[in-house]
RNA sequence: GCCCCGGUGGUGUAGCGGUUAUCAUGUGGGCCUGUCGAGCCCACGACCCGAGUUCAAAUCUCGGCCGGGGCGCCA
């Protein structure tokens, strides 16, 4: 291997021994007779020290390298309390693995600002920065521990198609694609498939899902391609069973991230207090009452951005459910209960991060609801078929990964939470 | 779709009728043996495109292209 140690793997027992380190040259401080090279790897930074009179040619070679070039360096690991990690590598041999062109399209450690747009145009360089990398390490943890939690609860990981013949489950625009000459669509969510699976006997499924939405929205909290943790579970008594999973999953993941990603949270200057369980449940009717004290808001109105923010201001907690929405506000498959839907949103600091419901499992009721909403049942034959041969009561939710991270890390733009965001204007890189 | 705003060296900016187009960062070169936002010296490098107004346009007007912020839309 081109490295024997990552920057954080060197300890006292290595002092005085030869080691090999590798990474990107972040900075070269050439003082004339001595030079300090700051090398960065995945785990952090370390210092290489080169002394001119010990090896003039090697010295010249290393100080003339460009920033962000990739090298592997070999030498003695020398203890030095004055250096950042308590040690430095006294350079003996070096292999230049890749020279970086100059100038860089954006600086990694420059003391000037970089526009977010420039950062996204140069995302691979952007990701070399600690605070950017930290977001994705935390994202990694979040998905890992959410999965971990679900698996412990008996959920089976599944992968449903992202290309589908049926156009839409409603509510949003979808992307149309050419499927060997036939019209096909990118799915807006795994909703229909994960529900169908409830008739399979798997009972509990989850998916790290991709959502494709062709909405031309242009905001800091929407993406046209986003990811989610989608679950569906059968034999529930009510939507409350589903909400429990949503809040416990959130609680478990946050706890684990606090335990294991303190370095990353520091890099992002994020301090989190673990909200206590259970998260409050607020009915839509209560929301209406609260909002009516301040603004003109009628029962049945949608909760827009302003309404969500206003509500959040009135509440003392960061994570809470809104439940029992007007039936019209929720999709056709939500279980009706009078004029209400047995549906809920999980809100985090005034933004919806997850949305779920108990679903309709009765075939005729489902068809009735679709007819009421003017939907063509013939477009949903495969979906409906699953309801005709023994479909247990079930429910589930979709939980936006970027949405969660955005709120958890107090990020201003949801694009921060996905490597290569897709929005109305951005199709590259 | 609506309402604002903006495009100046590689990056981030100042200038808003006449400037040698500002500053920082960067890049290239030089000096320096303990730097850690290293320091010092020298150099390099830019007004989105087009039309118009004017003696004179980075600056004003119009059009285009590109982008940003907010809202709407949004399982």
Per-residue pLDDT of A324-342, as tens digits, reads 999 988 889 999 999 999 9
- pLDDT for res A403: 92
Measured between its terminal Cα atoms, the distance across chain A in Å is 31
Nearest CA among A258, A44, A6 for reference residue A133? A44
- Residue A173's Cβ-count burial label (10 Å; 0-12, 13-18, 19+) is middle
Catalytic status, residue A147: no
Domain boundaries, chain A: 12-98, 124-417
CB atoms within 10 A of CB A292: 12
Q: Report d(CA A29, CA A26) in Å as an integer.
A: 10
**Is A320's pLDDT higher than 70?**
yes
Set A213, A361, A369, A415: catalytic member: A213
Determine the distance between A423 (CA) and B34 (C1') in angstroms.
49
A58-77 burial: b if 16+ Cβ within 10 Å, else e: bbeebbebebbbbbbbbbbb
**Is A170's pLDDT higher than 80?**
no
- pLDDT for res A183: 86
Q: What is the pLDDT of residues A191-205, one digit of tens each?
A: 999 999 999 999 999
Alpha carbon separation from A46 to A14, A106, A152 (Å, rounded) = 14, 22, 40
- pLDDT for res A164: 87
Query: Sorting pLDDT into bands at 50, 70 and 90, what band is A76?
Result: very high
List the single protein residue with the shortest CA to C1' distance from B25.
A112
CATH number of A124-417: 3.30.930.10
**Is A40's pLDDT higher than 80?**
yes
List the alpha helices (DSSP H) in A293-362: 305-314
Q: Which nucleotides of B are covered by protein (CB under 7 A)?
A: 1-2, 10-13, 24-29, 31-39, 66-75
**Is A369's pLDDT higher than 70?**
yes
Query: Sorting pLDDT into bands at 50, 70 and 90, what band is A373?
Result: confident
- pLDDT for res A160: 93
Residues near A149 by Cβ (< 8 Å), separated by ≥ 6? A248, A249, A252, A253
Catalytic status, residue A281: no
List the single protein residue with the shortest CA to C1' distance from B70.
A219
Mean pLDDT of the A85-104 span: 92
**Is A167's pLDDT higher than 80?**
no
Set A123, A222, A424, A426: catalytic member: A222
Q: C1' nearest to CA of A169: which nucleotide?
A: B75
Determine the distance between A140 (CA) and B72 (C1') in angstroms.
33
Mean pLDDT of the A246-260 span: 95
Whether A356 and A343 have beta carbons less than 8 Å apart is answered as: yes
Catalytic status, residue A352: yes
Percentage with pLDDT > 90 across chain A: 65
Q: Do A12-98 and A124-417 show the same overall fold?
A: no
Q: C1' nearest to CA of A215: which nucleotide?
A: B74
Q: C1' nearest to CA of A168: which nucleotide?
A: B75
Mean pLDDT of the A71-90 span: 92
Whether A326 and A341 have beta carbons less than 8 Å apart is answered as: yes
Give the three-state DSSP class for A203.
Answer: coil
- pLDDT for res A313: 83
Q: Report d(CA A128, CA A40) in Å as an integer.
A: 9
Q: Report d(CA A229, CA A79) in Å as an integer.
A: 47
Q: C1' nearest to CA of A357: which nucleotide?
A: B75
Set A92, A131, A173, A215: catalytic member: A215
Give the three-state DSSP class for A206.
Answer: strand
**Is A391's pLDDT higher than 70?**
yes
Give the three-state DSSP class for A50.
Answer: strand
Determine the distance between A52 (CA) and B31 (C1') in angstroms.
15
Determine the distance between A387 (CA) and B55 (C1') in angstroms.
83
Query: Sorting pLDDT into bands at 50, 70 and 90, what band is A290?
Result: confident
Mean pLDDT of chain A: 91
Q: C1' nearest to CA of A111: which nucleotide?
A: B25
Determine the distance between A413 (CA) and B65 (C1') in angstroms.
26
**Is A171's pLDDT higher than 80?**
no
Determine the distance between A247 (CA) and B55 (C1') in angstroms.
73
Give the three-state DSSP class for A259.
Answer: helix
Fold that domain A12-98 belongs to in CATH:
OB fold (Dihydrolipoamide Acetyltransferase, E2P) (2.40.50)
Q: C1' nearest to CA of A304: which nucleotide?
A: B72
Set A355, A361, A369, A416: catalytic member: A355
User: DSSP secondary structure string, A52-102?
Assistant: GGG-HHHHHHHHTSPTT-EEEEEEEEEE-TTSTTSEEEEEEEEEEEEPPPS
Alpha carbon separation from A84 to A39, A241, A281, A319 (Å, rounded) = 12, 51, 49, 40
- pLDDT for res A151: 96
Catalytic status, residue A221: yes
Mean pLDDT of the A62-73 span: 94
This prediction has a pTM of: 0.92
Alpha carbon separation from A261 to A33, A87, A267 (Å, rounded) = 40, 24, 10
Catalytic status, residue A355: yes
Set A403, A407, A415, A416: catalytic member: A403
Determine the distance between A107 (CA) and B18 (C1') in angstroms.
37
Catalytic status, residue A92: no
């Amino acid at each position: 291997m081109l490295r024997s140690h990552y920057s954080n793997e060197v300890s006292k027992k290595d002092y005085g021994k030869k080691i090999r380190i590798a990474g990107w040259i972040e900075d070269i401080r050439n003082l004339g007779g001595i030079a300090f090279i700051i090398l960065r790897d995945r785990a952090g930074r370390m210092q290489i020290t080169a002394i001119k009179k010990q090896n003039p040619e090697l010295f010249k070679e290393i100080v003339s390298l460009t920033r962000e070039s990739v090298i592997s360096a070999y030498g003695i690991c020398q203890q030095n309390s004055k250096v950042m990690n308590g040690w430095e590598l006294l350079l003996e041999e070096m292999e230049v693995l890749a020279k970086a062109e100059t100038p860089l399209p954006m600086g990694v450690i420059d003391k000037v600002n970089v526009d977010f747009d420039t950062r996204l145009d140069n995302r691979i360089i952007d990701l070399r920065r600690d605070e950017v990398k930290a977001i994705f390490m935390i994202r990694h943890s979040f998905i890992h521990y959410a999965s971990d939690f679900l698996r412990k609860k008996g959920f089976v990981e599944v992968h449903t198609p992202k290309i589908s013949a049926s156009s839409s489950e409603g509510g949003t625009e979808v992307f149309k694609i050419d499927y060997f000459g036939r019209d096909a669509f990118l799915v807006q969510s795994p909703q229909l498939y994960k529900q169908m699976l409830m008739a399979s006997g798997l009972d509990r499924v989850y998916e790290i899902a991709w959502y494709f939405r062709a909405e031309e929205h242009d905001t800091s909290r929407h993406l046209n391609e986003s990811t989610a943790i989608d679950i569906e579970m059968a034999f529930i008594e009510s939507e409350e069973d589903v909400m429990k999973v949503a809040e416990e999953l959130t609680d478990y993941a946050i706890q684990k991230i606090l335990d294991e990603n303190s370095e990353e949270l520091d890099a992002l200057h994020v301090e989190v207090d673990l909200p206590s369980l259970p998260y409050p449940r607020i009915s839509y009717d209560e929301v209406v009452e609260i909002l009516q004290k301040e603004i003109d808001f009628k029962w049945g109105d949608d909760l827009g951005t302003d309404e969500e923010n206003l509500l959040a201001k009135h509440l003392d907690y960061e994570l809470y459910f809104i439940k029992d929405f007007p039936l019209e506000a929720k999709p056709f498959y939500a279980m009706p209960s009078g004029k209400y839907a047995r549906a809920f949103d999980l809100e985090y600091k005034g933004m919806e991060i997850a949305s779920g419901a108990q679903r309709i499992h009765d075939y005729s009721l489902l068809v009735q609801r679709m007819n009421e909403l003017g939907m063509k049942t013939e477009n949903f034959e495969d979906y409906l078929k699953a309801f005709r041969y023994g479909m247990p009561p079930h429910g589930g939710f979709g939980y936006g990964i970027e949405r969660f991270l955005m709120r958890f890390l107090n990020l201003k733009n949801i694009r921060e939470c996905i490597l290569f965001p897709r929005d109305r204007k951005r199709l590259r890189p």
